[in-house]
Structure 1
């Protein structure tokens, strides 16, 4: 069996280091390779057989031997791949297409901790072990990679717009991507079960949220869209996001995720599981998308007949969502490392009055959160005004690791005293200046004579303008007539 067939048939190849190997496979083509290339391919074949052996050892449960074999093969592979890049006959231009194929092989069906091909990053393997209400959170199974039975990776076309969006997320939008990831991890126990019940992939939920709000529960757009998933008022009402005792349910993470899942499934049925058209409908409106598509739901979102009818915002939105979802699935393949977050849900009962702002001050950077806990506390307690002091006995949601930090920092000692002092600070209110209406100008009368023009009259005044005199007399087009009485400002 050749190395090419081994690599394409197996699922255990680590990504970054195997790319040179696959580039060599892709470049072989139909031309007869030179002797140096043949020798190189022989080395690559040996490395491939090593990977095959490591995979078999892993399946048999011999994990130590599997890791040893894998390490040796990796060293051999890296050396061979480096030579391939400097050897004539290895077509490195085909690297990107093979890289795309390799990433798609990560949709695997092995079980166990050594399933390196899963669409779920190892840091995403298991959900928080706490409870959401009375229900224990389920473990993240292979279903997170599927969209109604189809592999999500196979539904994302790695084309120019998506690649451009990947670059934006990895460069200019990187801070928003990282913030969205952190915010999502603390809300995950509320949001992800809603998507799982709807048989939708978690990566899609993250992609939409990252693009829409960055995981800020109280985000409101200029157009009036609100919440972590940015529902317009009318659409939110249609999916049950109404007012609950004065609270806009669009700001509730669990409710908005449920409504979003219902909307996505509704549009997937309409567009025959065409993911890109569905995402486009979420952003640009389902009516507009239906009119553009007509009866041909198999048409590509990027078909000029569709693409050119959409707004620039929607043309950017769809690949951006897909790129964020792709990075959620494959961060390490793009030199991206998301932080490890313990998102287990917790709860404290206030032992002294405090606002969310005060708690943020007294918690400080507990748990290594250098940016502070204000956003997380707001996201997990969306019904509370962060500036309003809550009474003793109020139950607050927060990450479980903060339960101990609250007890040690926010009940007694100097920090709650400092937080309270800062919160009660009074900022002087400067009254707005009273602007009096300008006094009406003093005027005199002038009777228009033969040969007068508005311009010549104004020139004699030396203190006014044609526009002022025209407005003072209500003149249209600056027309005046002989004998007409004009009001002129009095010059001093």
Structure 2
């Protein structure tokens, strides 16, 4: 939330700056001919200025954390400085120039921040995932991005594709029944843009095309998978993924689910296809969806004709005929939203990292973070930025996870401690079985009068088999559990009331993945149930 723009100062600020500037030229010698009382007053004024400057700096930190108090505090600090300069102007011997330089410097910083917060934090990296280590391009502010799209390069993609009725039909679908999917795709993409776009940019490919493919393939859901075996944001099949460096790594994590790796692989794949298909985007997209072998064969037989030529078009399956215009349509809207009355959501996606103060799950974080500043909360963002962790899998304290500056601010306020953090923990650890009431068998404890008590002769006991002496109860063996399909270690720990780290140690499972598989037998050591 930017502070009041310094580029549009109030009337008071204008007059204050003008008046102060006229007083800067007062000779220094005059300042030396002041009484001890005046010197004390000048010192007090300088202390007030230092306090106001600190107040302003603290306000900037609040703004960076999306704290609504930051704006009010920052503007109040500037007003304090104005009052101090007023006092200095009326105080004999006070050097207005010294105070004014501080005031102007902070106003300039405020203007720079309003122009784009992200530029001040361009060195931020997403470090939690090994695949993300390294310099990343910080998210471009909305104003800068809009300016970039308005330059001559904006229409480069337009000139690379054919805008025809098939594309118009695709745009119609994205803007009607598929509009929610389009907006969700955009929001997901913007949260991943700092990771994905640099890989396409350095390979000279249009950002709009990246967005169009991702929107059509997965709607921006990192963990998307198909029955055919395609996986990840860009839906790589296993064999194609391996060709471009994707697949299980040393920990068992499939890097097709990693946003940066998928962006790098998809950019390399598209460049390879376009190099073999005469830089034709439609044919490259047809290869992406319908198989590179088919696309290459059709291209070779067609003598260089384009995708929309009937003899070329009709050799592709119906799915590919739908896929190509839908990708281009999404890309077209991405570049021309105002033309179609589309207002994409504003996303605060400045990259940041969080060092967890205590063990947690993405589900728990989703609850305690709330939904401030977003439509659907932060679960999808956290899952997309941290694909190695299951939503209900426990992440140990001290782990660094990827986030945004807004999420980091909300985490520090609501998830470390306090009522919302406690509520989130209670909801995450709630056990459905604890709600089931199991009444105990009724026992008789009262006395009932049945008349006079009369002595009766005891009957001879009936012959019975000798009773064997009671054996001591056998000590129960250590319990175990057979992993079922869909189980995670966090879910099992919650069911049997175990600590995840202790359960992992007992079974030799390595953090952070805690990989388990159906049919595996786990020792339930340290569990309360």
TM-score by length of 2: 0.55
Match of 1:465?
none
Match of 2:295?
289
SS in 2 for 1:227: coil
Match of 1:267?
273
Q: Aligned equivalents of 1:237 and 1:147: distance in 2?
A: 37
Aligned residue among 308, 327, 331 for 1:302:
308
Q: Aligned equivalents of 2:241 and 2:269: distance in 1?
A: 10
Match of 1:198?
203
Inter-CA distance 179–249: structure 2 relative to 1 (3 Å threshold): same
Gaps of 5+ in 2: 1-114, 126-132, 437-529
Q: Aligned equivalents of 2:379 and 2:270: distance in 1?
A: 31
Match of 1:247?
253
Inter-CA distance 297–197: structure 2 relative to 1 (3 Å threshold): farther
Do the aligned residues in 1 keep the contact of 2:136 with 2:195 (CA within 8 Å)? no
Aligned residue among 143, 153, 162 for 2:158:
153
| Alpha-carbon displacement from aligned partner over 1:151-196 (angstroms, at most 9, x marks no partner) | 2111221111100000001111111100000001111110001001
Gaps of 5+ in 1: 1-121, 431-492
Q: Aligned equivalents of 2:166 and 2:388: distance in 1?
A: 38
Inter-CA distance 143–250: structure 2 relative to 1 (3 Å threshold): farther
Match of 1:313?
319
Match of 2:240?
235
Match of 1:413?
418
Aligned residue among 122, 131, 142 for 2:124:
131
Do the aligned residues in 2 keep the contact of 1:130 with 1:344 (CA within 8 Å)? no
SS in 2 for 1:401: helix
Task: Note the C-alpha offset of 1:128.
Answer: 8.0
Note if 1:360 corresponds to 2:366.
yes
Task: Note the C-alpha offset of 1:148.
Answer: 11
Inter-CA distance 217–316: structure 2 relative to 1 (3 Å threshold): same
Inter-CA distance 252–317: structure 2 relative to 1 (3 Å threshold): same
Task: Note the C-alpha offset of 1:342.
Answer: 1.7
Inter-CA distance 306–428: structure 2 relative to 1 (3 Å threshold): farther
Deviates more, 1:384-393 or 1:184-193: 384-393
Inter-CA distance 157–128: structure 2 relative to 1 (3 Å threshold): farther
- Correspondences of 1:312-391 after superposition (within 5 Å): 312-366=318-372, 368-391=373-396
Match of 2:192?
187
Q: Aligned equivalents of 1:382 and 1:268: distance in 2?
A: 30
SS in 1 for 2:353: strand
Inter-CA distance 154–127: structure 2 relative to 1 (3 Å threshold): farther
Inter-CA distance 316–145: structure 2 relative to 1 (3 Å threshold): farther
Task: Note the C-alpha offset of 1:247.
Answer: 0.2
Do the aligned residues in 2 keep the contact of 1:147 with 1:199 (CA within 8 Å)? no
Task: Note the C-alpha offset of 1:377.
Answer: 0.5
Match of 1:397?
402
| Alpha-carbon displacement from aligned partner over 1:32-54 (angstroms, at most 9, x marks no partner) | xxxxxxxxxxxxxxxxxxxxxxx
Task: Note the C-alpha offset of 1:130.
Answer: 5.2
| Alpha-carbon displacement from aligned partner over 1:190-222 (angstroms, at most 9, x marks no partner) | 000100111111110000000000000000012
SS in 2 for 1:247: coil
- Correspondences of 1:153-172 after superposition (within 5 Å): 153-172=158-177
Pairwise CA RMSD: 2.9
Count of residues in Structure 1 that have an aligned counterpart in Structure 2: 307
Match of 1:423?
428
Do the aligned residues in 2 keep the contact of 1:274 with 1:298 (CA within 8 Å)? no
